Amino acid sequence: MPVNSVAERLRQANHVTVFTGAGVSAESGIPTFRDALTGLWERFDPAQLATAEAYRTDPSLCWGWYEWRRAKVLQAIPNAAHLAIAELANHVPKLTIVTQNVDDLHERAGCEGVIHIHGSLHTPRCIDCAVAYGPILPDQDLSHDGCRIEPLRCGACNGLIRPGVVWFGEMLPEHAWSAGLAAAEGCDLFLSIGTSGMVFPAAELPLRALSKGSTVVHINPSAFEVSADEYFLQGPATHIMQSLLTDAFG
Ligand code: OAD
């Protein structure tokens, strides 16, 4: 489907759900997970960094890695795709943004009510009692990715403070997941932008949208197969989203 046909659907839509993955933040300098050479999971072992067991085994390695990632996010700024997605709110009757990203670039682009189904780097909590860590995290000078940093401790129970992201083997935050499902099943246009669609249950969302009769459009620079009922726009998120907005709303 060409961009102008998707633009027509966008103009007519009542409820648009935008579902984003790491590719949306790639052009802000935040690495994706699975892109060849640059993806985080190409360079680091998730089993050593992204499970509760790994965290308890080597807390300073894990906390240092997440603090390095948080520092990268703090230095980044929203790109034209984040801004175009935020701008959509001014044109469609209802917009819901569901993200797998643990950064805050959608919010800093001006989006409201973003649903973070994989949590956030900015909401640390205690690994034992789950109490949110209240104080602002200290700025760290993290110029490289192998820094070890001793984790902070919980003021309530002295447990280790962990990042507020979802690790492998963990359930998604219940409220975010049910809101994400409702947004997928209740929209008439579902834009899936910059995700490999390899991680479940997140990758179920486009399928749920499709099963309810929504138009599903994938936006990605790397071509992949989609079913006969879905659409694919090939290109970087910044370029495609800007063209889509211009075509739809001038
Ligand atoms: P992946 O790294 O798996 O996929 C990133 C996707 O972005 C790929 O399909 C790329 O082709 C695409 N991409 C790269 N540059 C892009 C650009 N400029 N514009 C648009 N797309 C671009 O990232 P996710 O699908 O987000 O889990 O990964 C899903 C989950 O796996 C993440 O949320 C994370 C990870 O383990 C948790 O943190 C729990």
**Ligand 1 first shell, C-beta below 6 A:** 21-23, 26-27, 32-35, 39, 100, 102, 118, 165-166, 194-196, 198-199, 220-222, 236-237
Homologous superfamily of the 31-75+121-165 domain (CATH): SIR2/SIRT2 'Small Domain' (3.30.1600.10)
Active-site residue 91, yes or no?
Answer: no
CATH 3.40.50.300 fits 1-29+78-118+171-250, yes or no: no
Helix, coil or strand: residue 205: helix
Ligand 1 atom with minimal separation from the 166 CA: 39
pLDDT averaged over 10-residue windows placed end to end, the chain, 250 residues: 88 98 98 92 91 96 93 95 98 98 98 98 96 81 76 94 97 98 98 97 98 98 93 97 96
242 CA distance to ligand 1 middle (Å): 20
Question: According to CATH, where is 3.30.1600.10 located in the chain?
Answer: 31-75+121-165
CB 95, CB 84: distance < 8 Å: no
106, 116, 118, 122: the active-site residue:
118
If you measure from the C-alpha of residue 204 to the centroid of ligand 1, how many angstroms do you get, rounded to a whole number? 15
Kindly report, as residue ranges, where domains of CATH 3.40.50.1220 are found in the chain: 1-29+78-118+171-250
d(CA 51, CA 28): 26
Mutate to test the pocket of ligand 1, among 170, 200, 220 (most ligand atoms within 8 A of CB): 220
- C-alpha–C-alpha distance, residues 48 and 166, integer Å: 15
For the residues of 34-96, what is the DSSP string, one character each? SSTTTSHHHHS-HHHHSSHHHHHHSHHHHHHHHHHHHHHHHH----HHHHHHHHHTTTSSEEE
